[in-house]
Every structure is written in structure tokens, then in C-alpha cells.
């Protein structure tokens, strides 16, 4: 796979992951076919997810970009990026609550025995509580590092 750097030049869709990165340089680790006659750059978002940038929205700047360049977006994260990532992960507890309510409210599960329903709900509530504790601990660590001026 070809690896390199692209500069995001435009984004005509505010829902695309790179909408706020216009003007930034990001690393890509592959070029794949897009819609017929187009390409897409396979990139890794700040949060670690793999996503794609449409070829028409970027230019390849591999030959002019150093891997040490501070303008590379994924290498120059700050505490606000970390905070955003923590908060996004914390949404898992809301997702668990949503699926739990789905089981309770959905007519598809009305025939489920009360015993089975209680067992499933108790497991979901336990997982939700576990992740609440984990994220609270993570958040406390994050705040502690900020207070110690170890995150800039």
C-alpha cells in the first residue's frame, strides 16, 4: 500500500469526518478506488478509526511533507482532542441504556419470559455501571494531568 501525506483542500459535506480539517495535512496509508473514475485516501482519524478522504478534496503532498512536520494533524493532538475522544467513548453507556430500553419497550420481546428478561437487563445494567466507573476513573486521571500541567 502506498503511504504518504495529503493536504485537505476542500469538503463540500459538513457530515464528513474531515470537514473541520480543511487546510490540514494528514497521513494516509493507502489509495483505494472510489466512485467510478475516482480515488479515496485511506486515513486514520485522531480517534483511531479508519476513514476515507475523497480524492477530489485533497492533494498528495508526500514529496514535500516530512514525517516530523508539526502540521500533520494526527501527530499534533492536544488535550482538547483527548477530551473530545474521552467524551465520545463515554457515549457507550448511553448506547447500553438505549438498547436496554429497546428490550423493555419493543413488542418483539413481549413473549420473553420474565426470568430471561430480568437476566438480560441485569447484565446490561452491570455493563453500563462498569463502564461508568471506568470512564469516571479515566476522567479523574485526565483532570489530574491538567491540574499538574502535564497536558498542554
Predicted confidence (pLDDT) per residue in 118-139, tens digit? 898 899 999 999 999 999 999 9
Q: What is the dotted CATH code of the domain comprising 4-69?
A: 2.30.30
Q: Tell me phi and psi for residue 8, to 5 degrees.
A: -80, 115
Sequence ranges of the domains in the chain:
4-69, 79-147
The answer to whether the CB of 43 falls within 8 A of the CB of 32 is: no
Q: Tell me the C-alpha distance between 76 and 152, whole Å.
A: 11
Global confidence as pTM: 0.48
Q: Which three cell numbers stand for residue 51?
A: 476513514
- Per-residue confidence band for 150, with pLDDT thresholds at 50, 70 and 90: confident
On the question of pLDDT at 69 being above 80, the answer is no
Burial of 60 (0-12, 13-18, 19+ CB in 10 A): middle
Q: Tell me phi and psi for residue 109, to 5 degrees.
A: -110, 15
Residue 129 gets the label, from left (phi > 0), alpha (psi -120 to 50) or beta, of alpha
Q: Tell me the C-alpha distance between 105 and 52, whole Å.
A: 37
Contacts of 79 (CB under 8 A, 6+ apart): 142, 146, 151, 152
Amino acid at each position: 500500500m502506498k503511504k504518504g501525506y495529503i493536504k485537505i483542500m476542500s469538503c463540500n459535506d459538513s457530515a464528513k469526518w474531515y470537514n473541520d480539517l480543511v487546510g490540514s495535512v494528514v497521513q494516509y496509508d493507502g489509495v483505494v478506488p472510489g466512485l467510478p473514475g475516482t480515488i479515496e485516501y485511506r486515513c486514520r482519524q485522531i480517534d483511531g478509526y479508519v476513514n476515507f478522504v475523497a480524492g477530489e478534496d485533497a492533494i498528495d503532498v508526500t514529496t514535500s511533507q516530512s514525517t516530523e512536520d508539526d502540521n500533520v494533524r494526527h501527530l499534533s493532538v492536544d488535550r482538547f482532542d483527548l477530551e473530545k475522544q474521552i467524551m465520545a467513548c463515554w457515549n457507550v453507556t448511553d448506547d447500553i441504556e438505549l438498547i436496554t430500553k429497546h428490550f423493555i419497550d419493543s413488542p418483539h420481546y413481549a413473549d420473553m419470559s420474565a426470568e430471561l428478561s430480568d437476566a438480560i437487563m441485569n447484565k446490561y445494567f452491570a455493563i453500563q455501571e462498569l463502564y461508568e466507573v471506568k470512564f469516571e476513573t479515566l476522567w479523574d486521571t485526565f483532570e489530574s494531568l491538567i491540574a499538574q500541567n502535564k497536558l498542554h
